[in-house]
């Protein structure tokens, strides 16, 4: 079942040498990242509320396909989508 949070929910993330997520904690469980499918950056809306984010679409070892982003401005990680 696909779940989507428009503002994302805060999560804890550990990163690897390339500043990409290696593992994250959600709902009390720790998920390790198998591979990064795609990563991209967004930097918009500076005239109202700036959204400067680095997105990662990942597959975890637990078989989840998720979309998490790093809010560069405040240095916080958020989970935005869990794909079906």
Distance (Å, whole) CA 59 – CA 32:
9
Q: Which two tokens stand for residue 76?
A: 């916080």
| Binding positions for other proteins, 6-25, rule CB under 8 A | 18
Given the rule CB under 8 A, which of 4-12, 25-33, 37-45, 75-83 is the region that contacts other proteins?
Answer: 37-45
47 near other proteins, rule: CB under 8 A = yes
Out of 15, 23, 52, 81, which residue is the one contacting other proteins (CB under 8 A)? 52
39 near other proteins, rule: CB under 8 A = yes
CB atoms within 10 A of CB 41: 11
| Residue placing its CB nearer to other proteins in the complex, 55 or 64 | 55
Distances (CA, A) of 54 to 1, 16, 62: 24, 15, 23
Distance (Å, whole) CA 57 – CA 35:
9
Binding site for other proteins (CB under 8 A): 18, 38-44, 46-47, 52, 54-55
């Amino acid at each position: 079942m696909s779940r989507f949070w428009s503002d994302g929910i805060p999560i804890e993330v550990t990163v690897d040498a390339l500043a990409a997520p290696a593992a994250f904690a959600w709902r009390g469980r720790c998920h390790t990242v198998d591979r990064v499918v795609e990563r991209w950056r967004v930097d918009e809306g500076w005239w109202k509320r700036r959204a400067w984010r680095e997105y990662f679409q990942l597959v975890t070892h637990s078989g989840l396909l998720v979309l998490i982003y790093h809010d560069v401005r405040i240095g916080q990680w958020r989970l935005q989508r869990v794909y079906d």
